[in-house]
Copies of this chain bind each other. A is one copy, B any other.
Amino acid sequence: MSKKKKLNLGLVGYGFMGRTHSNAFGKVNQFFDLEYEPVLKAVCARDADKVQAFANQWGYESVETDWRKLVGRKDIDLIDIASPNNTHEEIAVAAARAGKMVLCEKPLGMNGAEALRMVKAVEKAGVPNMVWYNYRRVPAVVLAKHLIDEGRLGRIFHYRAKFLQDWTISKDLPQGGAGLWRLDVNVAGSGVTGDLLAHCIDTAMWLNGGIDKVTAMTETFIKQRPHALTGKVEKVGIDDASAFLARFSNGSLATFEATRYARGHKALYTLEINGEQASISWDLHDLHRLQFFDHKDEGRLRGWRSVHITDSDHPYMKNWWVPGLQIGYEHTFIHQVADFLAGLTDGKVPGPSFRDGLATDHVTDAVLKSAASGKWEKVSRK
């Protein structure tokens, strides 16, 4: 009989992210030694049959079909928002007002204005909050963070990030509908800027500090698509590709790019950071490796080291298997839950907080504004 403290969870949404979160809540106590234990109390979605099937599969105790009811339940400690972007603000604000802890999928809001209201709500309520920028919990990326924080890279000159996909190239793909809400601007808010660049930006500011200003371009390669809900061919409102140049507060220069039209790349999130003393690079297609170049190595033997991040002295890895045996994508969510639960014990929930999520929305706002204006735009710090 487990003597852990129970944390009653109410999940909103059962799509791709609903699955990754459920898996994380269900597995975390088998791999991490924590005071708290999540209880899968309820899952909420509009389709009663489907949400019940999901509950059965994942072991949720009950279901709801109206998120307001879920937020109103006394037996729920934490609302986890895994529904589309255009629902985040309303649910999060209500949950905060109800005194619930709130976890929210990224991007936090449809834009900075929404995100700011969400921040104010959780800060006013004083409830623990976090945004699911899961790539902060890739062990290789955490090791990169440690190396930077230790000063191993020295002065930073360059930051470079890309997120390349190719899944929307076909003209026949509808916008909106099941699994495709990311193509519907009214639901998603933007295209790759909020979906993919947001990940790149969150990691970048975590590793390299704030971004001062940007100049950007966006493009919609396929201008019209059938809309799954209306059945009509409509103008596409999202950006298919988005790229920007940036200047960080620390004086380093950056290039960022995201697209769903890079044939041959499925989810190639790459980042590289060049410092005076050392450089680091990483990519999501081989997420269990960190590339590290150290100028302090003996001259004739300098080279990029491919570090296989599976040792017990690598972040999180002592909780998993043995050296050489890799973990994958889903583990980043488990790590985030582990850190969140440990943070409850410590009284210090780690980031990315809603405030961090706001900062990223400010950058994506500036990117979209610059793409429209053709000018460099400053990033809001409100």
Report which A residues bind B (CB closer than 8 A).
1-2, 16, 20, 22-23, 26-27, 29-30, 56-58, 143, 147, 157-158, 160, 164-167, 169, 215-217, 219, 221, 241, 243-245, 247, 251, 253, 255, 257, 259, 261-268, 274-279, 284-288, 290, 292-295, 297, 299-308, 310-311, 313-314, 320-331, 374-376
Contact = CB atoms under 8 A, between A and B. Distances in A.
B286 A264 contact: no
Contact of A255 (B255, B279, B328): B255
Contact of A266 (B29, B259, B308, B329): B308
Nearest to A242: B253
Given A326-B285, A328-B328, A255 B267 contact: no
A216 B244 CA distance: 10
A203 B276 CA distance: 30
Contacts of A376: 374
Contact of A243 (B255, B279, B285, B321): B255
Nearest to A300: B313
Contacts of A330: 320-321, 325, 327
Given A57-B29, A263-B275, A304-B264, A158 B241 contact: yes
Number of copies: 4
Contacts of A294: 301
B263 A277 contact: yes
Contacts of A221: 157, 251
A242 B259 CA distance: 22
Contacts of A314: 300
A276 B263 CA distance: 6
Residue among A30, A299, A313 having the largest count of chain B Cβ atoms under 10 Å: A30
A37 to B, nearest CB: 11
Contacts of A158: 241, 259, 261-262
A259 B275 CA distance: 12
A306 B301 CA distance: 9
Can you list the 3 inter-chain pairs with the closest CB atoms, starting with the nearest?
Answer: A267-B324, A266-B324, A264-B293
A30 to B, nearest CB: 6
Contact of A303 (B2, B166, B300, B305): B305
B57 A323 contact: no
A244 B241 contact: no
6 contacts: A16-B322, A217-B245, A288-B326, A303-B305, A303-B308, A328-B331
Nearest to A327: B328
A161 to B, nearest CB: 11
Contacts of A293: 263-264
Nearest to A320: B330
A305 B308 contact: no
A30 B16 contact: no
A321 B20 contact: yes
Given A58-B30, A303-B305, A325 B267 contact: yes
A371 to B, nearest CB: 10
A168 to B, nearest CB: 11
B2 A56 contact: yes
Contacts of A215: 215, 217, 245, 374
Contact of A244 (B245, B295, B297): B245
Given A245-B217, A261-B157, A329-B325, A306 B303 contact: yes
A166 B277 CA distance: 11
Contact of A264 (B26, B266, B274, B301): B274
Contact of A253 (B2, B243, B374): B243
B328 A325 contact: yes
A286 B286 contact: yes
